[in-house]
Every structure is written in structure tokens, then in C-alpha cells.
Amino acid sequence: MRIGILGYGRFGRALGALLREAGHAYRAWDPAVEVPGELRAGSRADLVDGADTLVLAMPVPALGATLKELRPRLRPGQLVLDVCSVKVGPCALLEEHLGAVIPHAGTHPLFGPVSLARAERPLRVVLCPSSHHPAAADAAQSLFQSLGCQVLRQNPEDHDRVMATTHALTFFIAKGLLAVGAGADLPFTPPSFHAIARTLESVREDAGHLFAALQNQNPFAAGAREGLLEALSAVHQSLAEAAVSGADEQLSIPDLGTKSPALQEVRDHIDVLDRELVALLARRTELVLRAGRAKAELHLPIHDPEREASQLQARREWAKASNLDPQGVEEVFRAVLRSSRSAQGNAG
């Protein structure tokens, strides 16, 4: 399969890295970004003419004009995919310009450069098939599955409704928090803020144009924002009234149901933490596999005793700083390192 990526910004590069890891050859073209020589197409026409699958990795506002310009060069045997974070508008543009002649499908990879760099898993992709091209949707699904992605099929409206109350509101809340200084370096924060801090970090690292696209290109985002603002206004008013009346018991956040006895509650929390630890180990293994591939290219051995000794010493120091038993923590990481060596060996 000859794959072309039109647009080599942060997401285009990240997608290219995934393709390369999966063994897919690709070329890219972007007039505004430097593309490595071995991957660079001679021109946009060269990229389009030589691609069996063409991925349009560009901001939503540029999609319509690009499709209009590309249409005369596209062939019925090609597959055209967009990767925009909203789907109603882009899918309508694909239908308008490509129609029943050029196979196409809308996609939204629910990952980006930051999550890929952190080896977050699973990788998920929303696929919005065209009614004219069921085979194109199957081909798109096969391609993403070959990259290790889980594929969920939805229509564009359902996709954007979900994204309005998740993706768009997350960015909206984050922008508001940043505006009041919540993202600044603070001397201390409670544990309840830590997850929000990670969200702020992720939002700040995303492409600058994404915020406006999520808010203005999603037809359901404005309604979601209005609903949130109305709810916050009502809470704000209730707090003011409770401050006068003293009747603040009705303002408590609803619990999740009747709690178990103390021991069961602790065990439930441990189970949640263990699940998080397993997910972190899976992410660590993905990073280890990347390191293994880099070692193979340099013809280096899998086992690096000096590096492992340095790692173990650092983790003993971390344990001391956290008032944990350094020897016990070292034993845990020795087991992790054995698993890492095994994973690299099996991958090789």
C-alpha cells in the first residue's frame, strides 16, 4: 500500500511514525514544514499521483479548498481519509467534493503526538463511513488496526455530540482555568488538582488551532458550553444563597452510592490503583520496545548492566524520598527490568 500524508505538522509526523513502526512505507508533503528527504514527495501532485491511500492531515478550515484543488487529480481506485477532530463538517466536505466517485471515509484518531510520546494505550480511532463507499470504510479500518488501533464506527453527528461534551468542554474548561492562573507554577496543590494539572499540560501541548476548531467547527459545542455555563452559574448562585442562609448541606457533591465498610472501601481503592499500575506498566513496555528497536539499529545488546544499575539506584533514592522501603522498591523494579528485557528479546 502506497500511503501519502498531505500535511506534515505534529499529527502528520506522529502518524508517520506509527506507520513506519507498523512497516508501512509512506511519503509526505507540506509546503510549510520541512519533511525529511527520504520521506518527502517532489510536490503535492507527485504525492497524490503516487498514493493508494491519501491522508489529509490538516486543520479543518483548510480541508474544503484542498479537496476542491485535489479533485481533478484523484482516481476512483484511491482511498481518501481525513483525520479532523470534528466530523460533521469534514464528512460533508468529503461527500460534496468526492461523492460516489472517489472512495473516502472520515476518521478521528483519538490520540496525538503527546499521548503517543507517552505510550498511552489503547489507541482508538472513530471511523465515519460514507454510505457510498462501504469498502473504503473496511480498508480504513484495516489500516488503523494494522497500527494497533481499536476502531469504533459512528456517524458524524453522534461523534460530534460526544466530542462536544468531552473533548470540546475539556479544552473550554482548561482555557478558563489557565486564564485565572491555575496552570501557573504553584507552591503546593492538593491531590484533587493533580489530574486537572495533567489535563492542563496535555491541552497546552496540543496544536494551537485545535481549540478554535473544537469549539467553532463542532455544531454541538456551543450548546454544551452554554449548558455548562448555566450549571456553573446555578452553582455559583446557590453558594451565595447558602452563605447567607447557612443551608449548605444541599451543595455537597453527590456520592456514588452507599459506601462499603471501611475495609472494602480500602480494597476498592487498591484495586483501582493496581489497574492504573498495570496500565502504566503497559505504557512502559511500549517505550521499552521502542528502545529495543533503537538498540537494534545501533547493533547494541539488549542487556545494559550499567544503565540498569543507575536506574535501580535512582529508584532507591525515590523510595527514600517517599518514605518507602528502598530494598522493597528495588526488588519491584528488578522484576520490571527482567520483564523489560524479556519483552525486548521476544520482539527481536
Section 269-290 average pLDDT: 90
Q: How does pLDDT run across 14-41, given as a tens digit for each residue?
A: 999 999 999 999 999 999 999 999 999 9
Q: How far apart, in whole angstroms, are the C-alpha atoms of residue 303 and residue 344?
A: 9
Q: How does pLDDT run across 169-207, given as a tens digit for each residue?
A: 999 999 999 899 887 778 888 988 988 988 888 888 776
Average model confidence (pLDDT) for the chain?
91
Q: Rounded to two decimals, what is the model's pTM?
A: 0.77
Q: How far apart, in whole angstroms, are the C-alpha atoms of residue 314 and residue 308?
A: 10
How far, CA to CA in Å, does 95 sit from each of 23, 72, 176? 31, 15, 36
* pLDDT bucket at 258, cuts 50 / 70 / 90: low
Instruction: Classify burial at 47, counting beta carbons within 10 Å of its beta carbon; exposed 0-12, middle 13-18, buried 19 or more.
Output: buried
Is the C-alpha dihedral spanning 68, 45, 143, 21 positive or negative? negative
Choose the weakest-confidence range: 11-20, 159-168, 228-237, 302-311.
302-311
Beta partners for 4?
Answer: 27, 54
- Please tell me the predicted confidence (pLDDT) of residue 41: 97
* pLDDT bucket at 253, cuts 50 / 70 / 90: low
Q: How far apart, in whole angstroms, are the C-alpha atoms of residue 180 and residue 236?
A: 16
- Please tell me the predicted confidence (pLDDT) of residue 340: 87
Domain architecture of the chain: domains with CATH: 3-154 (3.40.50.720), 160-229 (no CATH), 264-347 (1.20.59.10)
Instruction: Work out the angle at residue 273's Cα, subtended by the Cα atoms of residues 340 and 261, and round it to the nearest 5 degrees.
Output: 150
